[in-house]
Amino acid sequence: MIKQERMQVVKQQQIAHHIFELTVQGALANEMAEPGQFVHIRVADSFEPLLRRPISVASIDLEASQFTMIYRAEGRGTGLLAEKKLGDTIDVLGPLGHGFPIEAAEKKAYLIGGGIGVPPLYELAKQLNARGIQTVHILGFESKQAVFYEEKFRELGETHIATVDGSHGTQGFVTHILNELPTDFDTYYSCGPTPMLEAVQWAYPQKKGFLSYEQRMGCGIGACFACVCRTTKSETDYIKVCSDGPVFPAGVVIS
Amino acid sequence: MSDLTVKLPGLNLKNPIMPASGCFGFGKEYAQLYDLSQLGAIMIKATTVETRFGNPTPRVAETASGMLNAIGLQNPGLEKVTEQELPWLEQYDVPIIANVAGTTTEDYVEVAKMISQSPNVHALEINISCPNVKQGGITFGTDPDVARELTRAVKEVSAVPVYIKLSPNVTNIVSIAKAVEEGGADGITMINTLLGMRMDTKTGRPIIANITGGLSGPAIKPVALRMVYEVSQHTKLPIIGMGGVTNVDDVIDFLSAGASAVAVGTANFVNPFVCPEIIGQLPERLHELGFDSVEQLVGRSHRL
């Protein structure tokens, strides 16, 4: 069920260039059901900035009623979020949207992420591993400075890193790594920039895949029609990234 | 206990607060969060004859204390709204104000005729002020003669009272208000969004795919208040005021300026519980200000 709650900051730290890890605690955390869902955060009690910020959830700890978000502090809103300190409270609305279906994977899954699309794959990897699914992680970043959670992913399975400038791992995009890897997996999950999602979709037309999309949002709950995309289902039909997604089966969204 | 009820043509409101059209869909999303029967009314999303996909994305951009949107009247079309959305809303004890949009007079007439017959639709809001569609919409709302004739045409077919939603994107809003009054309107809703734009400073391109969008949020409240104040002095029509309402004092301000009820738009995105919160705070705030009823406040600025 969607809740709005002032959640308490229990951890806030910078983990890479402009990348922050923020853990909050509160009853809302117990509503988290699927990896890939997101929350909508009001970063200030004033009306400047006005709109909430959609932030993805990187890991969930139901026992402690906590969840962790990883975000890039680049604009005014996320900049203010990065200033939140231990003990501060944050207005959180969530959980929102539909996440990755973990039951879809059978034996082995590829998790393919780019930049700030990497965080939700971490909770996904944890939950898939808990079900006995082998996960292979292919993660792309701008440069070595921007890489985060590499070791955490390695603890859960085979992990490959690509950086655009080649300062760490393979030089190039995640697709460069995918070209070298076997195709002995049954399901793939991907989150990142839309061109990356497109490329992944093209790479595995015969495989079962789930893609998490990004779109500018207004309300975050499906009322404002800001984040709609066309769908392959019909010419007049549409989907809302915030409430129908952000995760869709491959082949559904026309981007 | 302060009296929150408001009587307007077609509308016996238990309180003067309603979500504004376009900011509340058809109610389903907010019904997950609270009981919609608490609301004074609901202004549902604009309905056109045919299904509309709307504009390309990005459709929203944030601005200083406001936001721009260019959704482009996306909606499932008249048939689906009357057969699916409105019957679903019947489970709530709340009057519906159906927002009607079109690109020709015939479109408006067709939607108004059909949708006004739905049992829970108590009034129409005629959208002659959407800045985000190339044809129709705002062109009906910027020329007094066209606005008058459209009002007449819709009044002729509507089974319920007709409110005309005015655009702030005009030189003289009073002349449009007077024109729709002459056309037989039962009330006015105001204001729609202000036409604006925002650039991506790095690339020089407008952020909104439609290039321009409608500005809403706290940034436009002074403009909306001024217009409600002006229009209420020159027409007998009741006004449902809106534009940047975020809290109970904003509601007090709009009532003081001459509005009889108040719609809340963009603030629903910032705080999805804003409408019930304001409704809950209104009795105490009225009491603090020395008023026994909402109706006592309407237009008080003109009496000072």
My answer on whether A79 and A122 are in the same domain is: no
pLDDT of residue B86: 98
Same structural domain for residues A118 and A198?
yes
Q: Does B156 touch chain A (CB under 8 A)?
A: no
In a domain, residue A233? The reply is: no
> Tell me, what's the pLDDT at A91?
97
- Say what the pLDDT of residue B134 is: 58
Cβ(B124)–Cβ(B115) below 8 Å: yes
Q: Which domain holds residue A125?
A: 102-212
Is the CB of A47 less than 8 angstroms away from the CB of B269? Answer: no
pLDDT (tens digit, 9 = 90+) per residue, A60-108? 999 999 999 999 998 899 999 999 999 999 999 999 999 999 999 999 9
pLDDT of B239-268, one tens digit each?
Answer: 999 999 999 999 999 999 999 999 999 999
**Same-domain status, A109 and A79:** no
Question: In chain A, how many domains are there?
Answer: 2
- A86 shares its domain with A47: yes
Nearest residue in chain B measured CA to CA from A222? B29
Residues of chain A with pLDDT under 70: 234-236
A133 with A35, same domain: the answer is no
Here the CATH number for the domain that contains residue A156 is 3.40.50.80
- Whether residues A92 and A119 share a domain: the answer is no
Final residue in a domain of this structure, among A61, A77, A96: A96
The reported pTM is 0.95
User: What pLDDT shows up at residue A254?
Assistant: 84
Would residue A244 count as lying in a domain? no
In a domain, A120, yes or no: yes
Give yes or no: B130 in active site: yes
pLDDT above 70 as % of chain B: 97
Q: Does A150 map to a domain? A: yes
Residue A222: list chain B partners with CB under 8 A. Answer: 25, 28-29
Report the alpha-carbon distance of residue A15 to residue A228 in Å, rounded: 33
DSSP assignments along B227-284, one per residue = HHHHHHHH--S-EEEESS--SHHHHHHHHHHT-SEEEE-THHHH-TTHHHHHHHHHHH
Transcribe chain B into DSSP letters. Answer: --B--EEETTEEESSSEEEPTTSSTTSHHHHTTS-GGGSS-EEPPPB-SS-B--PPSP-EEEETTEEEE-----B--HHHIIIIIHHHHTTSS--EEEEE--SSHHHHHHHHHHHTTSTTEEEEEEE---TT-SSSTHHHHH-HHHHHHHHHHHHHH-SS-EEEE--S-SS-HHHHHHHHHHTT-SEEEE--PEEE--B-TTT--BSSTTS-EEEESGGGHHHHHHHHHHHHHH--S-EEEESS--SHHHHHHHHHHT-SEEEE-THHHH-TTHHHHHHHHHHHHHHHHT-SBHHHHTTHHHH-
Q: Tell me the pLDDT tens digit for each residue of B76-131.
A: 999 999 999 999 999 999 999 999 999 899 999 999 999 999 999 999 999 997 76
B127 annotated among ligand-binding-site residues:
yes
- Among A67, A96, A125, the domain-final residue is A96
pLDDT < 50 positions in chain B:
none
Q: Which of A77, A96, A115 is the last residue of a domain?
A: A96
Most A-contacting residue of B60, B65, B245, B274 (CB-CB within 10 A), to test interface: B60
Same domain, A22 and A7: yes
Instruction: Name the residue ranges covered by the structural domains of chain B.
Output: 6-54+73-195+216-302
State the architecture of B6-54+73-195+216-302 in CATH terms.
Alpha-Beta Barrel (3.20)
Q: B190: distance to nearest CA of chain A, Å? A: 19
A157: in domain: yes
Kindly report the nearest CA distance between residue B25 and chain A, in angstroms: 4
Q: Is B38 on the interface with A (CB under 8 A)?
A: no
* Average pLDDT value over all residues in chain B: 95
Query: Residues near B193 by Cβ (< 8 Å), separated by ≥ 6?
Result: B69, B131, B168, B213, B214, B215, B216, B220
Sequence-ordered alpha helix ranges (H) in chain A:
76-82, 119-130, 150-154, 174-178, 194-203
Q: Is the Cβ of B74 closer than 8 Å to some Cβ of chain A? A: yes
